[in-house]
Amino acid sequence: MAYCTSVLRRTGEAWFIGVYASPGQTRKEFHKLVRAVGARFPELRADVERLLADAEELLNRRNRVVHSAVANERDPDSRFYEAWHAKTDSVWPIEPEELRCLALDLALCASKIDTFGAAWEDRAERDAWPEL
């Protein structure tokens, strides 16, 4: 999301690194970009809002996993584990297949965002659209 935002806004590498390195900033900047695209180009509003919704849902799922600690195996002979999420003090089962699906969903969403950014960049160059 940070890369796509930096491409669409033509901000450069330093801006991208600063946003990417700041927790929570990527989502905030992408959200602002989606609002700007939707306001200037109403015909793209539904597409960019869907990208934002998908990205936010996946980030929330990802953050739950990343910010949890594997507590223990549920059963000694099982391949399933439990995780403890400190912020919510909740314990939840981890299933490897669900984590694999989450990783694939994240990759697909990132690909869709990259595709949107590339299409935007091509169209902007062709049609001389102003920066966002």
Instruction: Give the E-state strand segments of the chain in sequence order.
Output: 68-73, 81-85, 90-94
3-state secondary structure of 68: strand
CA distance readout (Å), 121 to 8, 19, 42, 85: 7, 20, 17, 40
For 8-55, the pLDDT digits (tens) are 787 888 988 898 888 889 889 989 988 888 888 888 889 889 988 998
pLDDT at 129: 61
Domain boundaries, the chain: 2-57+96-127
Query: What distance in Å separates the CA atoms of residue 110 and residue 112, rounded to the nearest whole number?
Result: 5
Query: What distance in Å separates the CA atoms of residue 15 and residue 5, rounded to the nearest whole number?
Result: 10
For 80-97, the pLDDT digits (tens) are 678 888 888 888 888 778
For 93-132, the pLDDT digits (tens) are 887 788 889 899 989 988 988 888 888 777 777 776 656 6
**What average pLDDT is seen over the chain?**
82
Query: What distance in Å separates the CA atoms of residue 89 and residue 111, rounded to the nearest whole number?
Result: 33
